[in-house]
A and B are shown apart, each in its own frame.
Chain A
Amino acid sequence: MKPQKINWAQGSGSMIIIALITMMTIYLLLLYMTITNIFYAKTVATSRTDLIADSVAVYAQSYDYSFNKSRAEEMRGVLTDYNNTTTDAFTISTTLDFPEPISSNDSIIDRLKISSIVQTVFWYGNTNNYIYTTAESIVDSIDIWKDILVVPDNIGNNEHKPTEDPITPSDEQEDILVVPDKTTQSDDTKVGE
């Protein structure tokens, strides 16, 4: 019995088409991974910016719709440094601004704005190209006595006023606010250079 001859020329059409589909799929996958990376950077930027802005505002909140600016700057720096120690996948740098106060109900309301830039690698393992994503968050000041502690009239007791100085930390309390070792970014750092 003679061995059957195979005509390899036949059937090459489907091979070529499938090879094309495979290459197209690989290309789309690479594209998708890059887009995913951009979305990831955006998610990190918005979430971290929002959290830092909220924390800074709460920490720096003073009376009469005003912010304590030095406290705000202190907390911004601490939180930015800490959040940069979590992973090598991104680096975040933040800046703090105080936009023009707004007036509402005969009160001048302070505002603070946290702007952030998140830097991630464009492609996994490639440390030469970066993606930069920006985000901003603005927080208005409140009057911590009028706006938070006011209780409805039917309950009564809506005259909360500070009567004495706040409690100072007692002797046995130990202040251990520590800045982490890895301080990778600050205000003046220009990412990607």
Chain B
Amino acid sequence: MQLNLKPLREPKINWKRGGAELIGIALAFPLLCAMIIMAVGVMQTGITRQSLEYANYMGARAAVTADNYETARTQAASAVKMTLNDNTFGVDIDNVSVNIDLVAGTTAAGSNSSSNGITWEKGALAKCETVVPYKSLFDFQEHQMKSTLYVMVEKPAKTFK
């Protein structure tokens, strides 16, 4: 058997061939990138929506066990922001708005009342609303997402003389 001992020549690359492949990729690449960004944007929206519901729930739970209206607002805001900070991305935590309002209960003169005069006490109904501004990767615009729930205030209960 005879061995072919000719030195290997470097293959010549014909750059003109395959040019259409490059054009094809160049045309489709932006579309592919847009799809990936869109996928991340949809994921971001889904995660933010779930986290917002959970954060609002945590805020409401923190609020209803407070002794007075002001403490409830502070505790709710802290709980919501802490929860959102751990579970979301693209959310400006400093601009998250947490509102606690009393919507039903008894009115009485006193400092422990909401703006509409309802007293913060066991049995009153509180509306907990969280608004989250976030920059969507879907369209690069700022959007707002809102969650509202109602819960009963648990403290302070009426006392015995």
Mark A residues whose CB is within 8 Å of B: 6-8, 10-15, 18-19, 21-22, 25-26, 28-29, 32-33, 36, 39-40, 43-44, 47-48, 50-52, 54-55, 58-59, 75, 78-79, 82-83, 86-87, 162-167, 169-170, 172-178
Contacts and interface: CB of A to CB of B under 8 A. Distances in A.
Please classify the interface of chain B as helix (H, G, I), strand (E, B), loop, or mixed, using the class held by over half of its residues. helix
Interface residues of B, number: 53
B45 to A, nearest CB: 8
Contacts of A7: 20
Contacts, number: 145
A9 to B, nearest CB: 8
Given A36-B45, A51-B149, 9 more contacts: A10-B19, A11-B19, A14-B28, A28-B39, A52-B151, A79-B150, A79-B151, A176-B104, A176-B118
Contacts of B54: 43, 47
Contacts of A167: 158-161
A18 B20 contact: no
Interface of B: 17-25, 27-29, 31-32, 35-36, 38-39, 42-43, 45-46, 49-50, 53-54, 56-57, 60-61, 64, 103-109, 118, 122-123, 125, 127, 148-152, 154, 158-161
A44 B53 contact: yes
A33 B123 CA distance: 39
B125 A82 contact: yes
A151 to B, nearest CB: 16
9 contacts: A18-B29, A18-B32, A22-B28, A25-B36, A36-B49, A167-B160, A172-B109, A175-B106, A178-B103
A44 B38 CA distance: 25
Contact of A177 (B42, B104, B122): B104
Given A10-B20, A170-B108, A51 B60 contact: yes
Nearest to B152: A55
Nearest to B61: A51
Nearest to A174: B107
B57 A47 contact: yes
A12 B24 contact: yes
Contacts of B148: 86-87
Contacts of A79: 125, 150-152
Nearest to B25: A14
Contacts of B109: 172
A173 B107 contact: yes
Given A10-B20, A167-B161, A29 B53 contact: no
A164 B161 contact: yes
Contacts of B20: 6-8, 10-12
A181 to B, nearest CB: 12
Nearest to A19: B28
B48 to A, nearest CB: 10
Contact of B53 (A47, A169, A170): A47
